[in-house]
Amino acid sequence: MAWELVQIREIVSPRNVTRLPGAPVWVLGLLNLRGTVLTVVDLAQRLGLASEAEGGSVVVVEYEGRALGVRVDLVHAVAASADATVEPVEAARAADGLVTGMVRLADGPALLMDAGALCRSVLVTI
């Protein structure tokens, strides 16, 4: 998975979250990050993929002034946009609008995620 760098505020080590009763399984809960309460989601589970139960990192993404924690299994690298080619993804494969394209990097392909679409889907769900 890949994100546009302007959508990422920071990357933090995994932390304990407080589960929200009645929330979807992919909403892990709430996290207190230096006095700011963030909703944390598991991106793999949200996309219907297998996810490692432990470890990973929390990528804090921003959309319209609001922050959301996204648990990921691994943060691989930061790449310059000059190194990437973005190809469109068929609407049927766009994972509910969360994927905006396929990024071809030197390391291989990655799905380009839409932080705004993810934040909107979480804010509507909770």
What ranges do the domains of the chain cover? 5-125
- CB distance 111 to 2 below 8 Å: yes
pLDDT, tens digit only, all 126 positions of the chain = 777 777 888 999 888 899 989 988 889 999 999 988 999 998 888 878 776 666 788 999 988 888 899 988 878 777 666 666 777 776 545 567 788 888 887 777 887 888 888 888 886 654
Q: Which residues contact 90 (CB under 8 A, 6 or more apart)?
A: none
CATH of 5-125, one of 2.40.50.180, 2.40.220.10, 1.25.60.10, 3.40.190.10: 2.40.50.180
Q: What is the pTM of this model?
A: 0.79
β 99-105/85-87 pair status: antiparallel
